[in-house]
């Protein structure tokens, strides 16, 4: 009986010790609006980056991961869930996710990732000096290079169709920036809004006969169903360009885009600094410096585009 009692006492102590250890682990919330290759790459980069910084899920940290599955109501529910947890830090991938968390967390540390216009989205007052409790990484691209790429691959292009979700601040900001860059390049942007992913194919078809090429911004609604736009491009022989390299692997003709996995690792580095006691507002929000050129040779052929040898040679990756 004494042996059994001793065994139970030891087991209980071990359980309490284990529970205390689990409770003492940093608790990290990670959420994103929808699954698609760019967001998936950011997520994996964040998880790997956190591990490198000493925060491995289940061992040295607890990471609560939630996807909104493209639904803003679900994203709001996730934000409310996170606000009820005693999180040490939250990480949000995409503009809608970051905005939802900022509105719910009320002063808790928040790191965003892949937000195109953090200032315009109301997340930070300044990239250089975020202040408050929010900072992160942005995929705000310089648009003149991608417009120049379109000129080289589709020399006759004058009107560029842009499909975007008008309900996403990130996307509206991109379209406005594209208009400015296009005007300087003597190109015209033709808008084709799609408020939900089910409408993206129709938005693409509406551009046939009205535009000379399509350019897809880093809009989660659009990128999640990029194949529907590629199908239209191939059928109408209308070149489809993208601002994320993952879309090229899914059929877009070409893209100048960031390495989203590396962006995730950069985001994790920021999170690591905050977990070690640094104020998020003291960490400048960052945009990765380098961009990669991806080409899809089979899509180029289907869309009626001849890729010059020098452009092909300069590509980081060519999908045959």
Read off the pLDDT of residues 252-263 as tens digits, 9 standing for 90 and up.
999 998 889 999
Computed over every residue of the chain, the mean pLDDT equals 91
Query: Is residue 71 pLDDT above 70, yes or no?
Result: yes
Check for a shared fold between 2-138+260-282 and 143-257+291-319.
yes
Residue 19 structure tokens: 């529970």
Distance CA 199, CA 278 (A): 43
Distance CA 136, CA 251 (A): 30
Name the one residue in this structure whose structure tokens are 């947890």: 85
Which of 34, 274, 293 lies closest to 168, judged by CA?
34
Q: Quick one: pLDDT band at residue 23, thresholds 50, 70, 90?
A: low
* Domain-wise residue ranges, the chain: 2-138+260-282, 143-257+291-319
Tell me if 267 sits within 8 A of 292, measured CB to CB.
Answer: no
DSSP helix/strand/coil, 76: helix
Tell me if 70 sits within 8 A of 286, measured CB to CB.
Answer: no
Q: What is the largest CA-CA distance in the chain?
A: 90
CATH of domain 2-138+260-282: 3.40.50.2300
Residues in CB range of 251: below 8 A, 6 or more apart: 226, 227, 230, 233, 234, 240, 296, 299
Region 285-311: mean pLDDT is 94
Distance CA 253, CA 112 (A): 29
Name the one residue in this structure whose structure tokens are 């208009």: 179
Read off the pLDDT of residues 107-149 as tens digits, 9 standing for 90 and up.
899 999 999 899 989 999 999 999 999 999 999 888 999 999 9
Region 81-89: mean pLDDT is 96
Query: Is residue 70 pLDDT above 80, yes or no?
Result: yes
Region 230-239: mean pLDDT is 98
Region 72-99: mean pLDDT is 96
Provide the angle, in degrees to the nearest 10, between the axes of the packed helices 260-275 and 37-52. 40
Q: pLDDT over 70 for what percent of the chain?
A: 93
Read off the pLDDT of residues 143-197 as tens digits, 9 standing for 90 and up.
999 999 999 999 999 999 999 999 988 789 899 999 999 999 999 999 999 999 9
Domain 143-257+291-319 has CATH 3.40.630.10: no
């Amino acid at each position: 009986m004494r042996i059994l009692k001793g065994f139970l006492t030891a087991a209980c102590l071990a359980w309490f010790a284990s529970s205390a250890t689990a409770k003492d682990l940093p608790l990290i919330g990670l959420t994103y609006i929808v699954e698609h290759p760019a967001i998936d790459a950011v997520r994996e980069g964040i998880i790997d980056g956190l591990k490198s910084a000493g925060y491995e899920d289940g061992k040295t940290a607890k990471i609560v991961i939630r996807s909104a599955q493209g639904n803003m109501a679900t994203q709001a529910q996730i934000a409310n869930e996170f606000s009820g947890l005693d999180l040490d830090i939250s990480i949000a991938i995409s503009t809608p996710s970051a905005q939802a968390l900022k509105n719910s967390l009320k002063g808790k540390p928040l790191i965003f990732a892949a937000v195109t216009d953090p200032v315009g989205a109301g997340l930070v007052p300044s990239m250089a000096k975020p202040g408050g409790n929010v900072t992160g990484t942005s995929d705000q691209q310089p648009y003149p290079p991608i417009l120049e790429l379109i000129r080289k691959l589709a020399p006759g292009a004058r009107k560029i169709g842009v499909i975007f979700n008008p309900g996403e601040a990130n996307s509206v900001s991109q379209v406005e920036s594209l208009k400015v860059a296009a005007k300087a390049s003597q190109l015209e942007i033709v808008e084709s809004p799609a408020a939900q992913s089910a409408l993206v194919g129709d938005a693409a078809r509406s551009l046939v006969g009205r535009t000379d090429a399509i350019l897809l911004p880093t809009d989660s609604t659009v990128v999640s169903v990029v194949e529907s736009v590629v199908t239209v491009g191939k059928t109408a022989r209308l070149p489809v360009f993208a601002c994320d390299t993952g879309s090229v692997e899914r059929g877009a003709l070409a893209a100048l885009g960031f390495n989203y996995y590396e962006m995730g690792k950069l985001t994790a580095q920021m999170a690591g600094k905050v977990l070690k006691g640094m104020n998020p507002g003291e960490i400048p929000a960052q945009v990765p410096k380098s961009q990669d050129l991806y080409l899809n040779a089979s899509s180029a052929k289907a869309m009626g585009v001849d890729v010059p040898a020098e452009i092909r040679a300069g590509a980081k990756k060519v999908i045959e």
